Amino acid sequence: MFKRRSVVRVGVIGTGNMGKHHVRVYSGMDNVELVGIADINRARVRHLASLYNTKAYTSYHELIRRERPDAVSIAVPTTMHKDVALDIIASGIHALIEKPIADSLKAADEIIEAADKEDVRVMIGHIERFNPVVEALKDIMPELGEILTISSKRLGPYPPSIKDVGVILDLAVHDIDVISVLYGKHVISVNAFAGNSFRNSNRHDLEDYATVVLRYEGGNIGVVETNWLTPRKVRTLMIVGTEAVAHADYITQNAEVWKPECTITVSVDRQEPLRNELESFIRCVSTRAKPHPSAEDGKKVLAVAIAAINSYRKQEEVRINDILS
């Protein structure tokens, strides 16, 4: 059973593209002790452990047994999220699961039920919620008038490390979450248009480009454009209102408001989103507060993403309630 400590002992499971940054950030946080990291890639995990002065394990079971951390980040491939998370929760350890929560709603439900039973905090790594530019957009939205649409572009080259899910579950989930947070509403239906290009023709079942149209309560619209085909990363968000338009860049954390008579630069306190996210997670572990985004939040985003996948495969609009029923 977790006991409150002034220093939270943490571990990281999976040290690939995202996990290695969890290792880096935890190692520099106050009131956090990085007690160990685990990855099946022996050379990689040993290198990172040496770099950040922690212990390396090739089995997360051994990490848990020997170090007994209070909390861990789970940054393994999406299809492994459920099995790893259930093992961690059964050990009474709090978990931050990199997005998406899981690869199916059934798996998400199992994680939620296990966490409730063991009274374990589970947070989902929808990192863009912690991007300062998103917080700045929330503050200026009332100046835009009635919001008509919110649209995003999340484009870039294909990441060879992603082999188990398509671009919707890997990338579009970020903006599905952010747009829903900005509207403060739930998606009620989805129309998606997607496919697999010749560049990744070895996996015809996994889309590498998609445009997802989200319909919200009250008639609001969200549009997410994403792909693994663009040679340079693009991460932008646009909010169109009756009085003005806001445009933001997630990467540079720059934002502007475009009005007919002028362009206004939005003040943004630039910070690393991952550090903000992990600090929020550690606060939840220390205080036993409910994390945001919670596992339930992660399930809602996953439901929309699955609806989008079903939509483009069936070539029809899909209602979220039909996915959840």
Report the b/e string of 173-207 with b at 16+ CB within 10 A: bbbbbbbbbbbeeebbbbbbebebeeebeeeeebb
Above pLDDT 90, what percent of the chain?
91
Q: State the pTM of this model.
A: 0.93
Q: Which CATH class is domain 128-274+304-324?
A: alpha beta
**CA Rg value for the chain:** 20
Q: How far apart are the first and last CA of the chain?
A: 35
DSSP state letters, 120-132: --EEEE-GGGG-H
Question: 299 pairs with which residues across the strands?
Answer: none
| Domain positions in the chain | 8-126, 128-274+304-324
Closest CA to 8 of 263, 288, 195, 234: 288
Domain 8-126 has CATH 3.40.50.300: no
Token digits for 271? 């910070």
Q: Are 127 and 25 in contact (CB under 8 A)?
A: no
Mean pLDDT of the chain: 94
Least-confidence region, from 15-24, 155-164, 187-196, 266-275: 155-164
Spatial separation of the C-alpha atoms in residues 152 and 144, rounded to whole Å: 17
Please report the pLDDT score of residue 2 as a whole number: 43
Facing residues of 153 across strands?
225, 236
Instruction: Read off the pLDDT of residues 18-32 as tens digits, 9 standing for 90 and up.
Output: 999 999 999 999 999
Q: Is 135 or 197 the better-scoring residue by pLDDT?
A: 135
Using alpha carbons, list the distances in angstroms from residue 250 to 83, 128, 192, 268, 303.
32, 8, 23, 11, 24
Tell me what pLDDT residue 142 has: 95
Work out the pLDDT band at 232, boundaries 50, 70, 90. Answer: very high
